[in-house]
Homo-oligomer: A and B are copies of this chain.
Amino acid sequence: MKKSIDVKAGRRAAFKDEGKVTLDMVAAAAGVSPSTVSRILNGTATVSDDKRKTVDEAIARLGFVPNPVARGLAGGRTLSVGVITQTIDSPFFGSALRGVEDELSRAGYSPLFVSGHWNVAQEARCIDMLRSRRVDGIIVLNGRLPDAALTAHALQLPVVVTGRALKAAGLYALNFDDFEGARLATHHLLSLGHRRIAFIAGDPRHPDAKERQRGYRAALQAAGLPLEQDLVVPGQYTEDSGRMAVERLLDSRESFTAIFAANDQMAFGAALALHRRHLRVPDDVSLVGYDDIAGASYSVPPLSTVHHPVYELGQIAAAAMLQLLAGETPTARLPAPRFIARESSRAAPGR
């Protein structure tokens, strides 16, 4: 339900008008036409050096700042790009947002962040909202929007999407190698001599969760170990689901010497469950997470995990968007995942 708000009334009552300087004023001050000022501003067409100089001076002297709103109306571009994030306060995507912001602002663009909450309907509404605000392009950070919806929008304005592999006109997809990351993590545990490695799976609705599980399996297989179905327990990427998964595991009396959780948040939940049962990490059980979120290096003990360069993800996504906007074809790829051994994992007992 929209409240109706009489802004003008409030404004009139309380705020004095800002003494804004317009492009026309600059033109008058420099003794040229507005068109010329506009051209200089945009680097369109060629302008004689002396005119450019007087105009530049006038701009500086008057402290002129172009009005992006007017620019948006007249030129069809708003210098803003929409960013659909799932939860704006996510520990994982937070730094991606910073990466986007930093990269975009270099080129004079601003991000418009909206949250989809992993909800298709909500994400669709975000896109409508962003398009009604005439953003120049849209960056979609993961989410559950169908590929078809994305490719359809990409026909109308540039789209960069993360978390899936997809090829289409006007669209660029960026994806982490979750398979490889999970393989590395599992391999780490194997190389420490662990043979019975439990796996706490992520939310199966996320494609990355499936990839991570595939990586876990592939590593076991490469080591010639069988996949024990009983050591694989479902989770939802939340702390609490990690805690419950370990409780279930412990109650099943299945033996294991290590746990690989498909993300750090579940690993934290797992650590708590182990602590409650008086099992020590890593003395009794080795624990490995995934993502390397902010808290990972300061948990007790510090968590061994797979690091994804998330800040770079944001930066690279933004850079790709700028290329798309410039009519170029992006080619950047994401850096490979790196395993970071900290203190939550050590050699298996008796080795």
Contacts of A76 in B (CB 8 A): 8, 11
A294 at the interface (CB under 8 A from B): yes
- Does A222 have its Cβ within 8 Å of any Cβ on chain B? no
Question: Quick check: B8 and A77 within 8 Å, CB to CB?
Answer: yes
Tell me which residues across on chain B come within 8 A of A3, comparing CB atoms. Answer: 106-107, 322, 326
Interface readout for A113-129 with B: 1 if CB under 8 Å, 0 if not? 11100000000000011
Interface flag for A7 (CB, 8 Å): yes
Of residues 1 through 55 on chain A, the ones whose CB sits less than 8 Å from some CB of chain B are 1-11, 13-16, 18, 43
Q: Would you call A180 an interface residue if the criterion is a C-beta within 8 Å of the partner chain's C-beta atoms?
A: no
Closest residue of B by beta carbon distance from A94: B89
The CB with the most chain B CB atoms within 10 A, among A6, A14, A72, A265, is that of A14
Tell me, yes or no, whether A87 is within 8 Å of chain B by CB: yes
Query: Chain B residues near A113 (CB, 8 Å)?
Result: 88, 111, 113
Asked whether A157 and B15 contact (CB < 8 A) given A300-B272, A300-B300, the answer is yes
Q: Which residue of B lies closest to A78 (CB)?
A: B69
Write the nearest CB–CB distance from A125 to chain B, whole angstroms.
9
Chain A window 253-277, contacts with chain B (Cβ cutoff 8 Å), 1 for yes, 0 for no: 0000000000001001101100100
Number of copies: 2
B-chain residues with CB within 8 Å of residue A43 when the two chains form the complex:
4
Could you tell me if A129 and B110 are in contact, using CB atoms closer than 8 angstroms? yes
Inter-subunit contact B326/A6 (CB<8 Å): yes
* Residues from 71 to 104 in A contacting B, C-beta threshold 8 Å: 72-73, 75-78, 87-91, 94-95, 97-98, 101
User: In the complex, what distance in Å separates the CA atom of A4 from the CA atom of B88?
Assistant: 30
Q: How far is the CA of A155 from the CA of B185 in the complex (A)?
A: 56
A16 CB contact (under 8 Å) in B114, B156, B326: B156
Q: Once the chains bind, are A1 and B106 in contact (CB under 8 Å)?
A: yes
A221 at interface by CB-CB < 8 Å: no
Instruction: Find the residue from A18, A75, A89, A112 having the highest chain B CB count within 10 A.
Output: A89
Most chain B beta carbons < 10 A, residue from A75, A88, A108, A297: A88
The answer to whether A239 has its CB under 8 Å from any CB of chain B is yes
A residues with a Cβ closer than 8 A to B are: 1-11, 13-16, 18, 43, 65-70, 72-73, 75-78, 87-91, 94-95, 97-98, 101, 106-108, 110-115, 128-129, 131-134, 136, 155-158, 169-170, 239, 243, 265, 268-269, 271-272, 275, 294-295, 297-302, 322, 324-328
